[in-house]
Structure 1
Amino acid sequence: MNNENSKQSNEATALTLMADFPKIYCPLVRKIFKIDPVIFKKLGSRYKLKAPEVYLVINKVNPGYEWVFEDPETIAVEKLDGTNIKIKTEKGRLVAVQNRMNIIDPLKVVGGPAHIVDGILRSASKDLIKPDGEQVGELIGPKLQGNPYKLESHEWYPFEKAITDLRYKSFHEHERNFENWSSWFKDHLHSRYFTKRASKLGLTESVFAEGVIFYNLKRKAENKSWRAKLRRDMFAWFYEPEIPVAGYDPNAEYSDEDLKLQDLKD
């Protein structure tokens, strides 16, 4: 192999590290509450808990996120339950794949995460991938999060498509406050993605969404914070009564010291 061919080969196999997808914060303040260690050992894995504690929202707006509650330009979009995958394409070629800060080699067909590449290729066949640039989306399917959408194969779903297709259109019809959102998330937050799929397949069942991403594209254009997230597992009722949360009162006053871990957890 001559030097030129060797150079091209090295460039083709080089793996590019892209910037990580920015962390998205909750529009409500959260606080850690301890749970019974015995119950944690029994039920922790079922509820995806890593320690005998839960990190719950309280009835207090996270400073800087007033726009989620007040700005009419804010929309609510389903948060898909999978794993975050960022891709980069150049002239229609897939040149980089990343799961957060973990680089994925799309050419590693033996011993590699084939389901990730499979999901990306399936999305490409649906014209969901741009020929050039970076895109971020959620990989969903059989190997991820217990496959809540009952998919037979994996799919990479771009966040840009989620904004247009998975929006909760009735969001503007209700007052935005803790009580309303708690009730909505507990009893009525059904997956828009699964509902669309069920309709095509003639299914009558429904599936709860993992949560919501709040977007404000006007604020994005102004280089201001424009995304926030809220999940069902951020409310105490998600765990109770199986996992009692002692001392939880969403309307109680907590000191800044009690709330200082807000930025340290997902």
Structure 2
Amino acid sequence: MSTARGRGRPRKDPNSLARWTPPEGWSRLVAWVSPEEKRALKHVAVDAGVPVADLIRALAGGLAGGAITHKELLGQVRKGRQVMEKIPTLFERDDRFRVVDSPRPECAWVFDGYGVGTEKLDGTNVRLTVRAGRIVRVEKRRNPSKAQKQQGIVDGWYVDTAEDAPEDKWTLEAARNTDVSGWPDGEHSCEALGPRIQGNPLNLEEHRCVPFDLHVPTYEEVPRSYGELRDFLTELESRFAPGHLAEGIVFHHPDGRRAKIKRKDFPRR
């Protein structure tokens, strides 16, 4: 005769799960995650031999107990957000994919005067992992396919490059030409630039990687309105490669948010 199961997910002892009562003062935390994030959490949980809930509780416990500081945790959150999310464009677009004078709500902080403007470099997004002044890993960004976008996957991710892959040749050369001896250990999102990447609009003579967190040129005074930005970008000279036009501007908020605008985003006049 079968034994009736209690409520809750089946485990070794489902009745125990159904009857578990949290300690006094505890609260339940619920968050929505993507399928990829869910699989990643499950993978770590399986390796650790614990349920996903215990994995998340361990993170909270480490934060509460001082094993990881709030600054370290925020640094990882910001780094992940900057790396994986597509940077929003400042203005809405028309049916010809040109921007119109209608600020996007999520970029309101730019028009309120927050953030620093840096040069947007026209290359390909990569990530270099550095240890003791040496590159130990080179990754490239992969964006979701049309089918994946229809499934709700909108943010890109990084995948490893391969020495024998023709499509990675110039990315790897850019990494090899980049002096990282003074870079701190960690993962650095970069723009790979050079003669064989994105048409080389800055007319560079060699391939190299420019880290967003270290060497991207800054512009002290950048206008914030539609018309002023359009005129500003029309003649904005690149500070990375003087004598050439800059592709655009990326605004960086102190909390890690970013927003961008490119010269070619505007309608031609």
Q: TM-score range by the shorter chain?
A: 0.5 to 0.7
Identity, in percent, stands at 28
Deviation for aligned residue 1:232: 1.1
Of 140, 146, 152, the residue aligned with 1:99 is 140
1:86 matches 2:133 = no
Query: Which residue pairs with 1:119 in the alignment?
Result: 174
Distance 1:92 1:207, change over 3 A: closer
Whether 1:27 aligns to 2:90 is yes
Could you tell me the TM-score, scaled by structure 1's length?
0.59
Q: Over residues 107-140 of structure 1, what are the superposed CA-to-partner deviations in whole Å (9 max), with x where a residue is unaligned?
A: x257563322222222226x3543x211001000
The alignment status of 1:191 with 2:238, answered yes or no, reads yes
Q: Which of 231, 243, 247 does residue 210 from structure 1 map onto?
A: 247
Q: Return the match for 1:134 from 162, 184, 187.
A: 187
| Match runs of 1:1-266 below 5 Å | 21-33=84-96, 55-71=97-113, 73-101=114-142, 103-105=159-161, 108=163, 111=166, 113-124=168-179, 127=181, 129-130=183-184, 132-163=185-216, 166-171=217-222, 174=223, 176-186=224-234, 188-195=235-242, 206-217=243-254, 219-220=255-256, 226-237=257-268
- Judging changes above 3 Å, is the alpha-carbon distance between structure 1 residues 67 and 154 closer, same or farther for their aligned structure 2 residues? same
Q: Which residue of 1 aligns with 2:17?
A: none
> Are 2:88 and 2:107, in contact at CA under 8 Å, matched by a contact in 1?
no
RMSD, aligned α-carbons: 2.4
Match of 1:12? none
Contact map agreement 1:81 1:210 (CA 8 A) in 2: yes
Query: 1:191 offset after TM fit, Å?
Result: 1.0
Q: Which has the higher contact order (CA 8 A, sep 6+)?
A: 1
Unpaired runs of at least 5, structure 1 = 1-17, 34-54, 196-205, 221-225, 241-266
Amino acid at match of 1:182: R
Mapped contact 1:78–1:162 kept (Cα < 8 A): no
SS at match of 1:230: strand
Using the size of structure 2 for normalisation, the TM-score is: 0.58
Alpha-carbon displacement from aligned partner over 1:188-244 (angstroms, at most 9, x marks no partner): 21111112xxxxxxxxxx211111101112x33xxxxx200101111111xx5xxxx
Radius of gyration: which is bigger?
2
Q: Report the Cα offset of residue 32 of structure 1.
A: 1.9
Code of the residue aligned with 2:220 in structure 1: it is K
